[in-house]
């Protein structure tokens, strides 16, 4: 039996659309066990089926990978354990499910796949690398796709531990599909230059720990101006972050979660923001998360 733990991720980080992502210390955990028969079953930790099998990305991915490598006859018992990553909130829940499915398949196939194979499969299934790569490797990662080989090229950014993520999760969902539909098909040269300059600045600000520079690094013109309208009262919340002079703020992935970056010693932030959250029309849950540097981990329990 294997126990697999996959972290949440926040993709884009402002200007790094479909490119940058960071793993966070919030996890989904599953276990999978090979059975003697060819029967495949899914059990939920609390006994209540939360998602039908055909919409359960862990099972769908697990079956897809087993079929792709000719392991159709393997039976298993899959247990969906502790799921801390909220669904359709922009924190990489689908990436986490896909990765859990691939790791589970890999265990059942006697670890046929390398980490790079897993990255490749996960990106193909998810459609973009910015959640799956940091979820597998941990840390903050830049990813791009080499067109000639279709390979995912990635590089890890030294993310300072002293920066913490204030993660604001609303009680409503926005699907990635809907959030991608609102994006324009074309952008002006000025918009492209904005994003190139900001994301370059962002990486160097983190490398040099120049946090004043960070404040200029998150402005995005590729997705946030279009998506902010899908997130109820997000403009108000972003204004509030600005007034608190945090290091920066951005939509997490495709939203609707919003993130503000602060230094660990910023003790005033929660005290001011919590009463403000009470004034909003929806319920927003604030989680203080740190970067996860381990990525997906597993433990063999037999």
Annotated binding site for ATP: 86-96
How far is the C-alpha of 85 from the C-alpha of 55, rounded, in Å?
16
**3-class DSSP state of 294:** coil
| DSSP β-bridge partners for residue 151 | 146
Three-state SS sequence of 174-221: CCHHHHHHCCCCCCCHHHHHHHHHHHHHHHHHHHHCCHHHHCCCCCCC
180 burial level (CB within 10 Å; 0-12, 13-18, 19+): middle
Closest CB to ligand HSE among residues 179, 261 = 179
Residues that bind ligand HSE (rule: CB under 6 A) add up to a total of 13
CB of 9 to ligand HSE, least distance (A): 9
CB of 269 to ligand HSE, least distance (A): 25
CB of 287 to ligand HSE, least distance (A): 19
28: nearest Cα among 71, 92, 89: 92
Stretch that binds ligand HSE, among 54-62, 107-115, 175-183, 258-266 (CB under 6 A): 175-183
Using the rule CB under 6 A, which residue among 93, 131, 143, 217 binds ligand HSE?
131
Asked whether position 224 contacts ligand HSE by CB under 6 A, the answer is no
Asked whether position 205 contacts ligand HSE by CB under 6 A, the answer is no
CB of 126 to ligand HSE, least distance (A): 7
Asked whether position 18 contacts ligand HSE by CB under 6 A, the answer is yes
Closest CB to ligand HSE among residues 214, 254 = 254
CB of 51 to ligand HSE, least distance (A): 18
Which residues 6+ apart lie within 8 Å of 128 measured at CB? 11, 18
Asked whether position 176 contacts ligand HSE by CB under 6 A, the answer is yes
How far is the C-alpha of 179 from the C-alpha of 255, rounded, in Å?
8
Residues annotated in the binding site, as ranges? Answer: 86-96
Burial 34-71 (b: 16+ CB within 10 A, else e): eeeeeebebeeeeeeeebeeeebbbbbbbbbbbeeeee
User: 240 to 279, contacts with ligand HSE by CB under 6 A?
Assistant: 253-254
Asked whether position 180 contacts ligand HSE by CB under 6 A, the answer is yes
Stretch that binds ligand HSE, among 44-52, 77-85, 172-180, 289-297 (CB under 6 A): 172-180
241: nearest Cα among 224, 214, 259, 220: 259
Which residues 6+ apart lie within 8 Å of 175 measured at CB? 88, 254
Closest CB to ligand HSE among residues 9, 56 = 9
For residue 99 the two structure tokens come to 């990765």
Closest CB to ligand HSE among residues 32, 140 = 140
Task: Write out the residues near ligand HSE by the rule CB under 6 A.
Answer: 11-12, 17-18, 128, 130-131, 176, 179-180, 223, 253-254
């Amino acid at each position: 039996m294997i126990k697999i733990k996959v972290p949440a991720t926040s993709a884009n980080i402002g200007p790094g659309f479909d490119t940058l992502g960071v793993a966070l210390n919030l996890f989904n955990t599953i276990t999978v066990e090979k059975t003697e028969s060819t029967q495949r079953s899914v059990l939920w930790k609390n006994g209540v089926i939360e998602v039908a099998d055909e919409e359960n990305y862990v099972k769908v991915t697990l079956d897809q990978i087993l079929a792709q490598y000719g392991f159709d006859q393997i039976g298993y018992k899959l247990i969906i354990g502790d799921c801390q990553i909220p669904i359709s909130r922009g924190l990489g829940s689908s990436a986490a499910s896909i990765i859990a499915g691939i790791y589970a398949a890999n265990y059942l196939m006697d670890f046929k796949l390398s980490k790079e194979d897993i990255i490749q499969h996960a990106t193909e299934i998810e459609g973009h690398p910015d959640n799956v790569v940091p979820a597998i490797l941990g840390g903050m990662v830049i990813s791009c796709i080499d067109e000639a080989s279709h390979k995912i090229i990635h590089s890890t950014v030294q993310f300072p531990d002293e920066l913490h993520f204030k993660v604001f999760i609303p009680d409503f969902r926005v699907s990635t599909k809907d959030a991608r539909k609102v994006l324009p098909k074309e952008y002006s040269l000025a918009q492209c230059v904005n994003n190139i300059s900001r994301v370059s600045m962002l990486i160097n600000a983190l490398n040099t720990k120049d946090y004043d520079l960070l404040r200029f690094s998150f402005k995005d013109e590729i997705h946030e101006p279009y998506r902010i309208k899908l997130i109820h009262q997000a403009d108000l919340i972003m204004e509030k972050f600005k007034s608190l002079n945090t290091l920066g703020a951005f939509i997490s992935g495709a939203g609707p979660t919003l993130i503000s970056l602060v230094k660990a010693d910023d003790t005033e932030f929660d005290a001011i923001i919590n009463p403000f959250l009470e004034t909003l029309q929806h319920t927003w849950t604030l989680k203080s998360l740190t970067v996860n540097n381990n990525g997906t981990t597993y433990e063999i329990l037999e």
